[in-house]
Amino acid sequence: MQEVGRTVARFNRARWQHGCLRTKHLFVRLQGGQVEIATLDLEKTRQRISALYAARHDISQLRRHVPWGDDLWQCYLQGYAETFGPAFSKV
């Protein structure tokens, strides 16, 4: 889950907003100890004026639609925060 958070954070940090982020748009494959993550439906993406706007939107979209419990969500947020950096506290 941390690696999923890191992937979305890199995407948002570059000021890209998915626009309709759901778990069905995130594919995770474990292969020999490596985690590979793919994101689908990128035609819905748009570039925002700031990384914070992109982050706020995608995090709130994902939180509303994920079936994860609090433990998985916190794990996701930990990976996200590590990658997004200090500005994450403003999200």
Structural domain includes residue 90: no
Which CATH number characterizes residue 53's domain? 1.10.510.10
Measure the CA–CA gap between 1 and 31, rounded to whole angstroms: 15
Q: What are the pLDDT digits (tens) for 23-71?
A: 999 999 999 989 999 999 898 899 999 999 999 999 999 999 999 999 9
Is there a domain that residue 72 lies in?
Answer: yes
Q: Does residue 91 fall inside a structural domain?
A: no
pLDDT above 90: residue 11: yes
Question: Residue 21 falls within a domain, yes or no?
Answer: yes
Residue 9 is assigned to a structural domain of this protein: yes
Q: How far is CA 3 from each of CA 43, 67, 81, rounded to the nearest angstrom? A: 23, 18, 11
What is the pLDDT confidence band of residue 91, given thresholds at 50, 70 and 90? confident
Residues for the chain: how many in total?
91
pTM for this prediction: 0.90
Instruction: Look at the chain and report how many structural domains it folds into.
Output: 1
Evaluate whether residue 27 is within a structural domain: yes
Whether 87 shows a pLDDT value over 90: the answer reads no
**15 located within any domain:** yes
58 lies in which domain range? 2-85
